[in-house]
Chain A
Amino acid sequence: MKFYYITFRSVTYAQRGESVLSARNIRCTLLRTPKWMEEQGCGYCLRLWTSDATPAVELLRQNRVPLRKIYAQRSDGQLEELTV
């Protein structure tokens, strides 16, 4: 199983994202954003299964939760940034 990471500028946005996704039974985990993903430093992200990524991003956009970046795990395990 591969993961997607969706980053947010504020823990509040990340939590609203978590709330929106949980309400639709999309499982996600709230984490600190790895330093290399966030050049401004200090942020939070949601980690979710790749299979949930498309509906999750759609839901977040529908609910106007401001996303910052999206990272997808490649088959070799490395993460790559996708265009938001």
Chain B
Amino acid sequence: MIYLDNGATSFHKPPRVYRAVEEAMYRCANPGRGGYRAALEASRQIYRCREAAGSLFSCLPEQVALTTSCTHGLNIAIRSIVKPGAKVVVSGFEHNAVTRPLRALGAKITVAGRKLFDWEDTLTEFYRALKNGVDGAVFTHVSNVFGYILPVEEMAAMCRSFGVPFIIDAAQSAGTLPVSMAALGADFVAMPGHKGLLGPQGTGLLLCKGEAVPLLYGGTGSASASQEMPDFLPDRLEAGTLNVPGYAGLTEGLRYILNTGTDKIFRREHAQLERCAEGLKKLGMKVFSGPHQAGTVSFLPGMDCEEAAEQLGSLGIAVRAGLHCAPFAHESAGTLETGTVRVSFGYDASDAQRLGLLQAVSKLTPFSS
């Protein structure tokens, strides 16, 4: 199989990720709960994960809350800064993981910047929304559908200058692009553990600047006499037993990225992306590509996109079609009715993957014909 669905999850992990999961299952009991060797080993394993994340994202280990997914982290973050009915600005490329929690809170959403790959439009519209007055901002770093890299540093600076709390969804950028809590000054940055960070599914990270509202309540292994959740991080956000084997794997994914460097990973993905976009265009596809693009590209195959992905799957090519849980992004690009076929390269991007995809795309045949 040629796996090109890294936007959904990184399917092939560095070998040490798999080994770490297994070893943790043999060696680790419940972290933060006991004083015997296996419990302390679990605590150390969890701490190593926080430490590696802190190194990669420029924050302290206790600012790294462990979540089950990026969606989990976004829900915590949104409930921490958005009051019911508040006015919130989002980009035109948000995932349902952002927009559904906002809708559930009855937030009044302003969508700012809907032109793909156009930083000027994004920044102008975002500034306009901030100037009109909002209570909070949530924006993605990279569109999960189109790979559009938003100008998050500038957007963060705008939020800081207006004194607006903000959340960054780093679902598609963590592990591929630099993300610095210290530089961004974000209230929260949420990310999955199983995509660019190369960890197992069921893991995620929420980087927290300071105060946060728990989503789950329960035992934390700390301040147990109190019936209130601890008022300190990360315990405040981590009720219940943590997924130690998962975070052991994630630690190794983080270490792989720290050793390799996000620059190298990005260059590898982007090189394939550019050549892939050109190749798809030569095959007559409508391709969504432009400046400020990460390792993800969407295209219209000239037939139903789900049929196209089905055929590619039968030829051994794993891509994702449809709306990608991001109707706002498709609305922005005018593809809400059709959806797109999404190709997303990972840290192991190669010529063989790209050429295999293009060869398979050249064989696509509408079912109706």
Report the nearest B residue to A42, measured CB to CB: B224
How far is A31 from B34 in the complex, measured between Cα atoms in Å? 9
Residues of A within 8 A of B (CB): 9-13, 15-16, 19, 30-32, 39-44, 66
Once the chains bind, are B222 and A16 in contact (CB under 8 Å)?
no
Report the nearest B residue to A31, measured CB to CB: B35
Q: Per-residue 0/1 for B38-49: is the Cβ within 8 Å of any A Cβ (1 yes, 0 no)?
A: 001001100100
Q: Known: A10-B230, A11-B43, A30-B40. Contact between A16 and B60, CB under 8 A?
A: yes
Q: Which of A10, A30, A43 contacts B62 (CB 8 A)?
A: A10
Query: Does B7 lie at the interface of the complex (its beta carbon under 8 Å from any beta carbon of A)?
Result: no
Residues of B within 8 A of A (CB): 31-32, 34-35, 40, 43-44, 47, 50-51, 60-62, 221-226, 230, 232, 234-235
Q: Ordered nearest first, which 7 A-B pairs have the shortest CB separation? A: A32-B35, A41-B224, A42-B224, A41-B225, A15-B47, A11-B32, A40-B223
How far is A30 from B43 in the complex, measured between Cα atoms in Å? 10
Once the chains bind, are A11 and B31 in contact (CB under 8 Å)?
yes
Once the chains bind, are A40 and B62 in contact (CB under 8 Å)?
no
How far is A42 from B31 in the complex, measured between Cα atoms in Å? 12
Once the chains bind, are B62 and A42 in contact (CB under 8 Å)?
no
Which of B35, B222, B232, B235 has the most CB atoms of chain A within a 10 A radius of its CB? B222
Once the chains bind, are B61 and A16 in contact (CB under 8 Å)?
yes
Q: Which of A10, A19, A30, A39 contacts B222 (CB 8 A)?
A: A10
- CB neighbours (8 Å) of B50 from chain A are 12
Report the nearest B residue to A43, measured CB to CB: B222
Once the chains bind, are B235 and A10 in contact (CB under 8 Å)?
yes
The smallest C-beta distance from A14 to any residue of chain B, in angstroms, reads: 9
